[in-house]
Structure 1
Amino acid sequence: MTQNVPDFSALLRGAQRTAVHLEMRDTYGVADEAEEFNEFRHSGKVDLDPESEGWAGWVPLVRETVGRGVVMRRARIVSEPVTDYIRWEHALTPVNVAAGEQVRWLPRRLASDIALPGNDLWLIDDRLVLFHWFTGDGDWAGHEYTEDPATVKLVSAAFETVWERAVPHDHYAV
Protein backbone atom coordinates (compact mmCIF):
# COMPACT_ATOMS: atom_id res chain seq x y z
CA MET A 1 0.00 0.00 0.00
CA THR A 2 1.16 3.47 -0.74
CA GLN A 3 1.10 6.49 1.55
CA ASN A 4 0.58 8.95 -1.33
CA VAL A 5 -3.13 9.59 -0.81
CA PRO A 6 -4.93 11.49 -3.57
CA ASP A 7 -7.42 14.21 -2.68
CA PHE A 8 -10.80 12.60 -1.96
CA SER A 9 -12.75 15.00 -4.18
CA ALA A 10 -10.39 14.18 -7.05
CA LEU A 11 -10.88 10.46 -6.46
CA LEU A 12 -14.66 10.84 -6.54
CA ARG A 13 -14.51 13.08 -9.59
CA GLY A 14 -12.39 10.41 -11.28
CA ALA A 15 -14.94 7.67 -10.61
CA GLN A 16 -16.47 6.37 -13.81
CA ARG A 17 -18.92 3.67 -12.67
CA THR A 18 -19.12 3.18 -8.92
CA ALA A 19 -18.16 4.72 -5.60
CA VAL A 20 -19.02 2.70 -2.51
CA HIS A 21 -18.49 3.61 1.12
CA LEU A 22 -18.35 1.16 4.03
CA GLU A 23 -18.74 2.55 7.55
CA MET A 24 -18.31 0.24 10.52
CA ARG A 25 -18.00 2.41 13.65
CA ASP A 26 -20.84 3.10 16.08
CA THR A 27 -19.52 6.53 16.90
CA TYR A 28 -17.19 9.05 15.38
CA GLY A 29 -15.61 12.03 17.06
CA VAL A 30 -14.66 14.08 14.04
CA ALA A 31 -14.10 17.64 15.22
CA ASP A 32 -15.96 19.36 12.37
CA GLU A 33 -19.16 17.46 13.27
CA ALA A 34 -19.06 18.11 17.03
CA GLU A 35 -21.29 21.19 17.13
CA GLU A 36 -24.05 19.68 14.98
CA PHE A 37 -23.94 16.37 16.84
CA ASN A 38 -24.18 18.11 20.22
CA GLU A 39 -27.14 20.14 18.95
CA PHE A 40 -28.87 16.90 17.95
CA ARG A 41 -28.15 15.28 21.33
CA HIS A 42 -29.63 18.26 23.17
CA SER A 43 -32.52 19.23 20.91
CA GLY A 44 -33.06 16.45 18.38
CA LYS A 45 -32.62 18.99 15.56
CA VAL A 46 -30.73 18.13 12.37
CA ASP A 47 -29.76 20.09 9.28
CA LEU A 48 -31.87 18.66 6.46
CA ASP A 49 -31.32 21.61 4.11
CA PRO A 50 -29.07 20.33 1.30
CA GLU A 51 -28.30 23.94 0.37
CA SER A 52 -27.00 24.84 3.84
CA GLU A 53 -23.38 25.60 4.62
CA GLY A 54 -23.08 22.33 6.53
CA TRP A 55 -23.75 20.31 3.37
CA ALA A 56 -21.87 22.59 0.95
CA GLY A 57 -18.83 20.34 0.71
CA TRP A 58 -20.77 17.11 0.17
CA VAL A 59 -24.11 17.53 -1.61
CA PRO A 60 -22.75 19.27 -4.74
CA LEU A 61 -20.01 16.63 -5.06
CA VAL A 62 -22.56 13.82 -4.81
CA ARG A 63 -24.91 15.47 -7.29
CA GLU A 64 -22.03 16.01 -9.73
CA THR A 65 -20.82 12.42 -9.36
CA VAL A 66 -24.25 10.82 -9.68
CA GLY A 67 -25.06 13.20 -12.54
CA ARG A 68 -22.18 11.65 -14.51
CA GLY A 69 -23.83 8.24 -14.11
CA VAL A 70 -21.71 6.99 -11.19
CA VAL A 71 -23.64 4.79 -8.76
CA MET A 72 -22.90 5.85 -5.18
CA ARG A 73 -23.70 3.39 -2.40
CA ARG A 74 -23.06 3.71 1.33
CA ALA A 75 -23.42 0.79 3.76
CA ARG A 76 -23.28 1.20 7.51
CA ILE A 77 -22.74 -1.71 9.89
CA VAL A 78 -24.24 -0.76 13.26
CA SER A 79 -24.67 -2.24 16.71
CA GLU A 80 -28.19 -2.38 18.11
CA PRO A 81 -29.55 -0.67 19.99
CA VAL A 82 -27.87 2.11 18.06
CA THR A 83 -25.76 4.86 19.60
CA ASP A 84 -26.79 8.50 19.66
CA TYR A 85 -24.28 9.09 16.88
CA ILE A 86 -25.93 6.48 14.62
CA ARG A 87 -29.34 7.93 15.46
CA TRP A 88 -27.98 11.31 14.32
CA GLU A 89 -26.53 9.85 11.10
CA HIS A 90 -29.85 8.14 10.39
CA ALA A 91 -31.71 11.42 10.90
CA LEU A 92 -29.35 13.16 8.44
CA THR A 93 -29.35 10.43 5.79
CA PRO A 94 -32.40 11.73 3.86
CA VAL A 95 -30.08 14.47 2.56
CA ASN A 96 -27.59 11.86 1.30
CA VAL A 97 -30.41 9.94 -0.38
CA ALA A 98 -31.96 13.05 -1.95
CA ALA A 99 -28.54 14.01 -3.33
CA GLY A 100 -28.29 10.63 -5.08
CA GLU A 101 -26.60 8.21 -2.69
CA GLN A 102 -28.13 4.82 -2.00
CA VAL A 103 -27.80 4.01 1.70
CA ARG A 104 -28.31 0.76 3.61
CA TRP A 105 -27.91 -0.30 7.23
CA LEU A 106 -26.74 -3.71 8.46
CA PRO A 107 -27.20 -4.73 12.08
CA ARG A 108 -23.79 -5.91 13.31
CA ARG A 109 -25.22 -9.25 14.49
CA LEU A 110 -25.88 -10.09 10.82
CA ALA A 111 -22.25 -9.41 9.82
CA SER A 112 -20.53 -12.02 12.00
CA ASP A 113 -19.66 -14.34 9.11
CA ILE A 114 -18.47 -11.63 6.69
CA ALA A 115 -14.72 -11.17 6.20
CA LEU A 116 -14.56 -7.42 6.75
CA PRO A 117 -11.62 -5.08 6.28
CA GLY A 118 -10.33 -3.51 9.49
CA ASN A 119 -11.18 0.08 8.58
CA ASP A 120 -13.86 2.22 7.00
CA LEU A 121 -13.25 2.78 3.32
CA TRP A 122 -14.21 4.03 -0.09
CA LEU A 123 -13.92 1.71 -3.10
CA ILE A 124 -13.84 3.47 -6.47
CA ASP A 125 -14.68 1.60 -9.69
CA ASP A 126 -13.65 -1.75 -8.13
CA ARG A 127 -10.04 -0.75 -8.68
CA LEU A 128 -8.85 1.46 -5.83
CA VAL A 129 -9.48 1.68 -2.10
CA LEU A 130 -9.15 4.61 0.25
CA PHE A 131 -9.06 3.43 3.86
CA HIS A 132 -9.92 5.85 6.67
CA TRP A 133 -8.20 5.50 10.03
CA PHE A 134 -9.73 6.82 13.23
CA THR A 135 -8.50 7.22 16.78
CA GLY A 136 -10.16 5.29 19.60
CA ASP A 137 -12.28 8.39 20.21
CA GLY A 138 -13.34 8.45 16.56
CA ASP A 139 -11.36 11.45 15.28
CA TRP A 140 -9.43 11.34 12.00
CA ALA A 141 -6.09 9.52 12.29
CA GLY A 142 -5.14 9.25 8.63
CA HIS A 143 -5.83 7.60 5.30
CA GLU A 144 -4.27 4.94 3.16
CA TYR A 145 -4.74 4.38 -0.55
CA THR A 146 -4.17 1.18 -2.48
CA GLU A 147 -4.82 -0.39 -5.86
CA ASP A 148 -3.52 -3.80 -4.71
CA PRO A 149 -5.72 -6.36 -6.53
CA ALA A 150 -6.00 -8.70 -3.53
CA THR A 151 -7.09 -5.86 -1.25
CA VAL A 152 -9.56 -4.54 -3.82
CA LYS A 153 -11.02 -8.05 -4.20
CA LEU A 154 -11.44 -8.46 -0.42
CA VAL A 155 -13.02 -5.03 -0.03
CA SER A 156 -15.36 -5.52 -2.98
CA ALA A 157 -16.54 -8.93 -1.77
CA ALA A 158 -17.08 -7.60 1.75
CA PHE A 159 -19.03 -4.57 0.57
CA GLU A 160 -21.25 -6.57 -1.78
CA THR A 161 -22.07 -9.09 0.96
CA VAL A 162 -22.92 -6.29 3.39
CA TRP A 163 -25.02 -4.56 0.73
CA GLU A 164 -27.01 -7.71 -0.05
CA ARG A 165 -27.90 -8.23 3.62
CA ALA A 166 -28.43 -4.62 4.59
CA VAL A 167 -31.75 -2.82 4.96
CA PRO A 168 -32.49 0.16 2.68
CA HIS A 169 -32.50 3.44 4.59
CA ASP A 170 -36.24 4.02 4.22
CA HIS A 171 -36.96 0.66 5.89
CA TYR A 172 -34.43 0.82 8.71
CA ALA A 173 -35.80 2.17 11.98
CA VAL A 174 -33.52 3.36 14.77
Structure 2
Amino acid sequence: MLSSVPGFAELLGRCERSAVHLELRDAYAATDRFEAWRRGERIDWTDRDSWWHPYDQLIADTVARGVVVRRARVVSEPVSEYIRWEHYVTHANVTAGEQVRWLPRRRATAIPLPGNDFWLFDDALLRVHHFSGEGAVVEDEITDDAEAVKLCSAAFAVVWERAIPHHLYKV
Protein backbone atom coordinates (compact mmCIF):
# COMPACT_ATOMS: atom_id res chain seq x y z
CA MET A 1 0.00 0.00 0.00
CA LEU A 2 1.16 3.52 -0.76
CA SER A 3 1.30 5.92 2.16
CA SER A 4 -0.10 9.23 0.92
CA VAL A 5 -3.37 9.95 -0.81
CA PRO A 6 -2.93 12.28 -3.80
CA GLY A 7 -5.93 14.33 -4.83
CA PHE A 8 -8.28 13.01 -7.48
CA ALA A 9 -7.22 15.67 -10.02
CA GLU A 10 -3.58 14.68 -9.55
CA LEU A 11 -4.36 10.99 -10.02
CA LEU A 12 -6.39 11.70 -13.15
CA GLY A 13 -3.65 14.02 -14.39
CA ARG A 14 -1.10 11.19 -14.17
CA CYS A 15 -3.43 8.80 -15.98
CA GLU A 16 -2.37 7.88 -19.51
CA ARG A 17 -4.89 5.32 -20.82
CA SER A 18 -7.89 4.58 -18.64
CA ALA A 19 -9.71 5.52 -15.48
CA VAL A 20 -12.58 3.32 -14.36
CA HIS A 21 -14.96 3.87 -11.47
CA LEU A 22 -17.14 1.20 -9.88
CA GLU A 23 -19.99 2.28 -7.61
CA LEU A 24 -21.74 -0.33 -5.49
CA ARG A 25 -23.99 1.62 -3.10
CA ASP A 26 -27.67 2.45 -3.55
CA ALA A 27 -27.29 5.73 -1.66
CA TYR A 28 -24.59 8.13 -0.61
CA ALA A 29 -24.69 11.05 1.82
CA ALA A 30 -27.21 13.67 0.74
CA THR A 31 -25.89 16.81 -0.96
CA ASP A 32 -27.47 20.20 -1.54
CA ARG A 33 -27.95 19.23 -5.21
CA PHE A 34 -29.76 16.03 -4.23
CA GLU A 35 -31.97 17.87 -1.74
CA ALA A 36 -32.86 20.49 -4.41
CA TRP A 37 -33.84 17.69 -6.80
CA ARG A 38 -35.98 16.12 -4.06
CA ARG A 39 -37.79 19.46 -3.73
CA GLY A 40 -38.59 19.31 -7.44
CA GLU A 41 -35.88 21.63 -8.74
CA ARG A 42 -34.57 20.55 -12.13
CA ILE A 43 -31.47 21.47 -14.11
CA ASP A 44 -31.77 23.45 -17.32
CA TRP A 45 -29.51 21.25 -19.40
CA THR A 46 -29.49 23.86 -22.19
CA ASP A 47 -27.77 26.34 -19.83
CA ARG A 48 -24.41 24.60 -19.42
CA ASP A 49 -22.92 27.44 -17.38
CA SER A 50 -25.51 26.78 -14.67
CA TRP A 51 -24.47 23.17 -14.05
CA TRP A 52 -20.95 22.66 -15.48
CA HIS A 53 -18.63 22.07 -12.50
CA PRO A 54 -14.83 21.79 -12.16
CA TYR A 55 -15.25 17.99 -12.03
CA ASP A 56 -16.93 18.05 -15.45
CA GLN A 57 -14.09 20.14 -16.86
CA LEU A 58 -11.50 17.80 -15.35
CA ILE A 59 -13.16 14.82 -17.03
CA ALA A 60 -13.51 16.68 -20.34
CA ASP A 61 -9.81 17.65 -20.25
CA THR A 62 -8.80 14.09 -19.37
CA VAL A 63 -10.86 12.59 -22.20
CA ALA A 64 -9.41 15.19 -24.59
CA ARG A 65 -5.93 13.84 -23.71
CA GLY A 66 -7.05 10.40 -24.94
CA VAL A 67 -7.83 8.79 -21.58
CA VAL A 68 -10.95 6.61 -21.60
CA VAL A 69 -13.08 7.33 -18.52
CA ARG A 70 -15.74 4.76 -17.65
CA ARG A 71 -18.14 4.49 -14.71
CA ALA A 72 -20.28 1.48 -13.84
CA ARG A 73 -22.95 1.43 -11.17
CA VAL A 74 -24.35 -1.73 -9.62
CA VAL A 75 -27.87 -0.89 -8.43
CA SER A 76 -30.77 -2.59 -6.70
CA GLU A 77 -34.14 -2.54 -8.44
CA PRO A 78 -36.50 -0.95 -8.03
CA VAL A 79 -33.91 1.80 -7.67
CA SER A 80 -33.62 4.04 -4.65
CA GLU A 81 -34.55 7.71 -4.77
CA TYR A 82 -30.84 8.53 -4.69
CA ILE A 83 -30.17 6.36 -7.75
CA ARG A 84 -33.04 8.04 -9.62
CA TRP A 85 -31.33 11.36 -8.92
CA GLU A 86 -27.91 9.97 -9.93
CA HIS A 87 -29.40 8.75 -13.19
CA TYR A 88 -30.80 12.23 -13.80
CA VAL A 89 -27.51 14.06 -13.14
CA THR A 90 -25.47 11.53 -15.13
CA HIS A 91 -26.27 13.74 -18.12
CA ALA A 92 -23.38 15.92 -16.90
CA ASN A 93 -20.97 12.97 -16.68
CA VAL A 94 -21.82 11.85 -20.20
CA THR A 95 -21.58 15.39 -21.57
CA ALA A 96 -18.10 15.67 -20.02
CA GLY A 97 -17.04 12.49 -21.83
CA GLU A 98 -17.53 9.69 -19.32
CA GLN A 99 -18.97 6.43 -20.55
CA VAL A 100 -21.54 5.26 -17.99
CA ARG A 101 -23.33 1.93 -17.59
CA TRP A 102 -25.78 0.52 -15.04
CA LEU A 103 -25.92 -3.08 -13.84
CA PRO A 104 -29.01 -4.30 -12.01
CA ARG A 105 -27.73 -6.04 -8.87
CA ARG A 106 -29.67 -9.22 -9.69
CA ARG A 107 -27.33 -9.63 -12.70
CA ALA A 108 -24.23 -9.35 -10.47
CA THR A 109 -24.70 -12.44 -8.30
CA ALA A 110 -21.93 -14.49 -9.93
CA ILE A 111 -19.41 -11.62 -10.11
CA PRO A 112 -16.63 -11.52 -7.49
CA LEU A 113 -16.97 -7.90 -6.39
CA PRO A 114 -14.74 -5.88 -4.06
CA GLY A 115 -16.28 -4.59 -0.85
CA ASN A 116 -15.80 -0.92 -1.72
CA ASP A 117 -16.28 1.61 -4.48
CA PHE A 118 -13.08 2.45 -6.31
CA TRP A 119 -11.31 4.27 -9.11
CA LEU A 120 -8.68 2.28 -11.02
CA PHE A 121 -6.11 4.28 -12.97
CA ASP A 122 -4.28 2.67 -15.91
CA ASP A 123 -4.99 -0.80 -14.47
CA ALA A 124 -2.28 -0.16 -11.89
CA LEU A 125 -3.34 2.17 -9.09
CA LEU A 126 -6.51 2.01 -6.98
CA ARG A 127 -8.23 4.78 -5.08
CA VAL A 128 -10.59 2.93 -2.74
CA HIS A 129 -13.48 4.82 -1.13
CA HIS A 130 -14.50 3.91 2.42
CA PHE A 131 -17.97 5.15 3.42
CA SER A 132 -19.91 5.31 6.65
CA GLY A 133 -23.17 3.40 6.89
CA GLU A 134 -24.93 6.66 6.00
CA GLY A 135 -22.90 7.05 2.81
CA ALA A 136 -20.47 9.77 3.86
CA VAL A 137 -16.85 9.43 2.76
CA VAL A 138 -14.79 8.37 5.76
CA GLU A 139 -11.48 7.87 4.02
CA ASP A 140 -9.87 7.25 0.66
CA GLU A 141 -7.11 4.70 0.38
CA ILE A 142 -4.50 4.47 -2.37
CA THR A 143 -2.99 1.10 -3.18
CA ASP A 144 -1.05 -0.59 -5.92
CA ASP A 145 -1.38 -4.01 -4.29
CA ALA A 146 -1.32 -6.47 -7.20
CA GLU A 147 -4.09 -8.72 -5.83
CA ALA A 148 -6.42 -5.82 -5.10
CA VAL A 149 -5.76 -4.30 -8.54
CA LYS A 150 -6.38 -7.68 -10.20
CA LEU A 151 -9.69 -8.21 -8.35
CA CYS A 152 -10.96 -4.70 -9.05
CA SER A 153 -9.89 -4.75 -12.69
CA ALA A 154 -11.55 -8.12 -13.29
CA ALA A 155 -14.72 -7.10 -11.42
CA PHE A 156 -15.03 -3.89 -13.40
CA ALA A 157 -14.53 -5.72 -16.71
CA VAL A 158 -17.34 -8.19 -15.99
CA VAL A 159 -19.68 -5.51 -14.65
CA TRP A 160 -19.01 -3.35 -17.72
CA GLU A 161 -19.69 -6.26 -20.07
CA ARG A 162 -23.05 -7.06 -18.44
CA ALA A 163 -24.16 -3.50 -17.73
CA ILE A 164 -26.63 -1.39 -19.69
CA PRO A 165 -25.42 1.82 -21.38
CA HIS A 166 -26.74 4.95 -19.68
CA HIS A 167 -28.91 6.05 -22.61
CA LEU A 168 -30.71 2.67 -22.56
CA TYR A 169 -31.13 2.25 -18.80
CA LYS A 170 -34.49 3.42 -17.50
CA VAL A 171 -35.14 4.13 -13.84
Which one-letter code corresponds to 1:25 in the other structure? R
> Who is 2:32 aligned against?
35
Which one-letter code corresponds to 1:7 in the other structure? G
- Cα pair distance change 1:63/1:81, threshold 3 Å: same
Identity percentage over the alignment?
54
Q: Distance in 2 between matches of 1:18 and 1:104?
A: 16
What displacement does 1:140 show? 1.0
8 Å contact kept, 1:132–1:143: yes
What is the CA RMSD across the aligned residues, in angstroms?
1.4
Q: Is 1:20 aligned to 2:17, yes or no?
A: no
> Who is 1:95 aligned against?
92
> Who is 1:59 aligned against?
56
What displacement does 1:95 show? 1.2
8 Å contact kept, 1:50–1:59: no
Which structure 1 residue ranges, 4+ long, deviate > 6 Å from structure 2? Answer: none
> Which runs of no fewer than 5 residues in structure 2 stay unpaired?
none
What displacement does 1:55 show? 3.7
> Who is 1:9 aligned against?
9
Q: Distance in 2 between matches of 1:116 and 1:128?
A: 17
Which one-letter code corresponds to 1:84 in the other structure? E
Q: Distance in 2 between matches of 1:77 and 1:22?
A: 8
What TM-score do you get using the length of structure 2 for normalisation? Answer: 0.94
Q: How does 1:106-117 map to 2 (within 5 A)?
A: 106-117=103-114
Aligned length: 170
What displacement does 1:47 show? 6.1
- Cα pair distance change 1:164/1:128, threshold 3 Å: same
Which one-letter code corresponds to 2:8 in the other structure? F
Q: Distance in 2 between matches of 1:23 and 1:55?
A: 22
What displacement does 1:39 show? 1.3
What displacement does 1:41 show? 1.2
- Deviations 1:79-130, CA, capped at 9 Å, x for gaps: 0000111000100111111110000000001011111111000000000000
* Most deviating of 4-13 and 68-77: 4-13
> Who is 1:129 aligned against?
126
What TM-score do you get using the length of structure 1 for normalisation? Answer: 0.93
What displacement does 1:150 show? 1.3
**Secondary structure, counterpart of 2:22 in structure 1:** strand
Which one-letter code corresponds to 1:115 in the other structure? P
> Which runs of no fewer than 5 residues in structure 1 stay unpaired?
none
